[in-house]
Amino acid sequence: MRSIKELSDHVRQQGGKVTPQRIAIWQALTNDKTHPTAEDLYARLTVAMPTLSLATLYHVLNELVEWGEVRRFDTGDGHTHFDPNTTPHAELVCLRCHTVIDAPKAAYTAVALPHELAGYRIVTRSEQYFGYCPACQRLANAMNLTSDERIV
């Protein structure tokens, strides 16, 4: 995601207005590596800005996604997650408990982002690895043990 200053310029260029709500949301996302949901951000933001509405938050998030400043992705937990980190990296998502962390650098494609693909003007790229986290693997093992015991 670009800086608050650059985003402000971008909004004004589009004939839009730089409001305290937009700035607050942009600030909350800056350097955020927690892959927050809208609810996560709302909880954080309302501490300092109690009147902020979820509707406004969604509106600002959606425009950031359309601008390619933030990526939106799905972990299977029924909540949409957002990530302002558009630098080369990949996420690691657990297929059972749906937690997300950034994948080790070695796992990410070093291929440069093309400007154009099949006539599409490319803005950003997203990469996710899906598997089972250490905790869920232990859980699965424990369940197998139980099944074995039942056989005995």
Provide the binding-site residues for DNA, judged by CB under 7 A.
Answer: 11-12, 15-22, 37-39, 49, 51-56, 58-60, 62, 78-80
Within 10 Å of residue 93's Cβ, how many Cβ atoms? 23
Least Å distance, CB 108 to DNA, is: 25
Residue positions counted in the chain: 152
Question: How many whole angstroms separate alpha carbon 94 and alpha carbon 132?
Answer: 5
Q: What are 51's two structure tokens?
A: 């009147």
**Which of a copy of itself, DNA, none interacts with 132 (beta carbon under 5 to 8 A by kind)?**
a copy of itself
> Among a copy of itself, DNA, none, what does residue 122 contact (CB within 5–8 Å per kind)?
a copy of itself
In one-letter notation, the amino acid at residue 39 is: E
CB of residue 20 vs DNA: minimum separation in angstroms?
Answer: 6
